Amino acid sequence: MFSRQRDFFDLAWKLRMNFPYFYVAASVILNVRLQVHI
């Protein structure tokens, strides 16, 4: 369970390091979905 928690923190750290790219990708996907919906 401890190693699982450590893996979670490692994943969170990687996400934090790559947050700008993740934010850009999420915004692009959201815009595409909205355009397709309209």
Residue reference for tokens 């692009």: 28
Whole-Å CA distances, 23 to 3, 6, 32: 28, 24, 14
Q: Look at residue 38 in the predicted model and tell me its pLDDT.
A: 64
Q: Rounded to whole angstroms, how far apart are CA atoms 34 and 4? A: 37
Q: What is the mean pLDDT of residues 2-26?
A: 83
22 near 15, Cβ under 8 Å?
A: yes
Domain count, the chain: 1
- Residue 2: pLDDT band (50, 70, 90) is low
User: Is the pLDDT at 6 greater than 80, yes or no?
Assistant: yes
What's the pLDDT tens digit per position in 17-27? 877 888 888 89
Q: Rounded to whole angstroms, how far apart are CA atoms 5 and 16? A: 16
Q: What is the pTM of this model?
A: 0.43
